[in-house]
Homo-oligomer: A and B are copies of this chain.
Amino acid sequence: MNKEAQPGTVYLAGAGPGDPGLLTLSTIQLLQTADVILPDDLVSDEILALASPTAEIIPVGKRCGQPRITQAEIHALMLQHASADRSVLRLKSGDPLIFGRAGEEIAFLRDHAIPFEIIPGITTAFAVAANLRTPLTDRTSASKLILATAHHAAGKLEVTPKWTGAFPEDATLVIYMPGRDFRALADDLIQSGIAPETPCVAVSKATTSDEHVHTTTLAQLDNSTVGPAPVVLLIGHAIQPA
């Protein structure tokens, strides 16, 4: 229960949604002891304030798909500092193993025989649901939780085309990075079989002091009523903010 960052080792850790209170104890201890910290854009200043005063903090965020730093450059930084026998904390918002590019970073670390460890973090879906005080599953209406993204590629929504059938009836769907055309996305989901009257909550700037919550249905989801990015959508009959 005392996790001290070790020389020459890389830690891929989740920083959670932004509130330092939602960091895990292990990640806090790594923040306090790592020589080098490589945080994503969405890692909050409050969290970085926990780092050792002697730590070197090198932001490696990529915002809105416009890379300020490439994935290869992140890999090179990990290699450079680990090879110099420094401990490296690669800090990703949320959990490191979902919707990041953890697979590429893991493959790089393995290929270069760099010792590494992974520490989970609270992913957005759970933090948002806790704030809304809504269950994510329900014994009678939702036995599955689906976490998905809706990237826009060449103007085309990608959330549903790869579903080979209809959505399951008894699922809660949380969509990360839904883009800005919520109406098109909702229509797409309705066409995939989700009932138009299904509850839908759009949360903007989740878990921050600027959080904005729009509670509606898929049929009524409206572009102009949703707050600014980042937005996460929660869809399903189990979603009942208390």
12 contacts between A and B (CB under 8 A): A20-B25, A24-B122, A98-B145, A103-B135, A103-B238, A116-B133, A118-B133, A121-B122, A143-B148, A143-B149, A162-B169, A163-B168
Interface set, chain A 121-139, CB cutoff 8 A to B:
121-123, 126-127, 129-131, 133-139
Number of copies of this kind of chain in the complex: 2
Instruction: Decide if B164 touches A169 in the complex (CB within 8 Å).
Output: yes
User: A20: which of B1, B139, B148 is its contact (CB, 8 Å)?
Assistant: B1
User: A97: which of B102, B134, B165 is its contact (CB, 8 Å)?
Assistant: B134
Neighbouring B residues of A48 by C-beta, 8 Å: none
Interface residues on A, range: 35 or more
User: A1: which of B3, B46, B102, B129 is its contact (CB, 8 Å)?
Assistant: B46
Instruction: Decide if A135 touches B97 in the complex (CB within 8 Å).
Output: yes
Neighbouring B residues of A171 by C-beta, 8 Å: 146
Instruction: Decide if A22 touches B26 in the complex (CB within 8 Å).
Output: yes
